[in-house]
Amino acid sequence: MNHDAYLDSYIREILNTVKSIAMVGASPVNVRPSYFAFKYLAQRGYDMIPVNPGHVGKSLLGKPFVASLADIGRPVDMIDIFRNSSRIPPVVDEALKLVTLPKVIWMQLGARDDEAAAKAEAAGIKVVMNRCPKIEYGRLSSEISWMGVNSRTLSSKRAPIPTQGMRLSLNRTSVSGGETAASDRAAKDKNDLS
């Protein structure tokens, strides 16, 4: 698996199939990126679970915080880790001890740990690193185009007007890989140095 650049088909398949997402490091503070992403994914119909031992007893947009992945008490499809790269390994180890393994482990924009990723992949789990699921969902649905962002997708179909809780079609034609190759290259250079 090349973690410097992902094919749209790989990301699309993940976002089209997972239903529940546990967000480790979710913040109740409404200017933190984790809060934005949690709210957006909930609005797009995902079953969101906030995981953060510092906020047990509170809830995030009506969903109660749990202290750990084990405390969720039911299988989840995807674990989205909103922690720095240095905090990734224990979360992945914790995920690998769950009775039912998640299908996907996703590490946020800026977070990457190739060793932890290899461990998860060896257990049959799909891994995405250094990406944001909100941005990827917005990109593949082209909803992010409102911000002038290059969705790297094309479509000649009329799209529905998004409403609260609505899942959008992510099945547009990809212009993927090549067109923002420069930014993938830069990410790779950065990782090679660090």
Other CB atoms closer than 10 Å to residue 158's CB: what's the count? Answer: 5
Question: In this complex, which beta carbon is closest to other proteins, that of residue 40 or of residue 65?
Answer: 40
CB 4 within 8 A of CB 191: yes
| Binding status of residue 152 toward other proteins by CB under 8 A | yes
Among 31, 100, 124, 192, binds other proteins (CB under 8 A): 31
CB 134 within 8 A of CB 157: no
Give the SS3 label for residue 124.
Answer: coil
- H/E stretch holding 55: none
Q: Please list every residue from 66 through 105 that binds other proteins, using CB under 8 A.
A: none
The residue whose two tokens read 């990827």 is: 136
| Binding status of residue 7 toward other proteins by CB under 8 A | yes
Among 1, 118, 123, 149, binds other proteins (CB under 8 A): 149
| Binding status of residue 182 toward other proteins by CB under 8 A | yes
- Rounded to whole angstroms, the Cα distance separating 114 from 120 reads 10
Binding site for other proteins (CB under 8 A): 7-9, 30-31, 33, 35-36, 39-40, 109-110, 132, 135, 138, 142-152, 154-161, 164, 173-183, 185-187, 190
